[in-house]
Amino acid sequence: MRTVSFMNAKGGVGKTVSTVNFAAILALIHNKRILVIDCDSQGNTTGTYYHGDDDIKTLSDIFENKDILASDVILKTEYKNIDLLPADLRLQKAEKDVLLDTSRPQQTRLRKALKSVEDKYDFCLIDCPPNVGMCAINAITASDDVLVPLKIDKYSMQGLNYITDAIENYKEFNNSLEFRGCFITQYSHNRLCREGKENLKRILKGKVFDTHIRQSIKVSESTFEEPMIISDPKNNATIDYIELVEEYLKKIKE
């Protein structure tokens, strides 16, 4: 199982939309077995993939109870090849409890829990919160790759720098961890976006995906409905996400 975290210390850059659509494309087009982990207490990824009862175990239980494994929490979704490890607002309390609990390792609880399912899936995709708190750190230490969605503005490098620093800091817990690259979301064909993308390429040297995700109102709408490959397969952003997944799969084969 290859684990991929979608991270940025800034909000509003498309982490959840990217996780949801990346997962659906891998599952439905590439026929890969996918585990999606919602690591954000807002639970937006959970809301997209799960519409059942609220009385369920979540990621909070994994963080707070050493005897609970991922296999105890994972839910089936209505989509072929996609399972979900959900989250909700209880994750806020769980994150604080982890910080107070020094009786066992704090940074590797998710990684340990995932060992029970690592042979069951081809990919595990993690939707991370817009910070570098204990939830994000657990995601980092469980991951093989980190992908950073960002939009072009004057603050675009700020959130990226937090993530790349965190990756370096926590490689001692996971020496297979790699910053695989960033990709631009909410892209418009204007001078700001063109120059911003070229500037990122100069700075990051090979860590910027060629594929960008074009701006579309359907992207925002999809967070309340279902993956865009299902709801609007001909949309420009859907086409871009399909190309992005293809580019990612080529990169990990190199």
pLDDT in tens, 94-153: 999 998 998 889 999 999 999 999 999 999 999 999 988 899 999 999 999 999 999 888
CA distances from 75 to 4, 46, 72, 233 (A): 19, 10, 9, 25
Closest CA to 166 of 19, 2, 7, 11: 7
75-76, strands of its sheet edge to edge = 75-76, 82-85, 34-38, 123-127, 2-6, 145-150, 178-184
Percentage of residues in the chain having pLDDT higher than 90 = 65
pLDDT tens track for 33-78? 999 999 999 999 999 999 887 789 999 999 999 899 899 999 999 9
Q: Which of 188, 214, 36, 225 lies closest to 124, judged by CA?
A: 36
**Superfamily the domain 2-253 falls into:** P-loop containing nucleotide triphosphate hydrolases (3.40.50.300)
Task: Find the mean pLDDT for residues 23-29.
Answer: 97
Question: What is the reported pTM?
Answer: 0.94
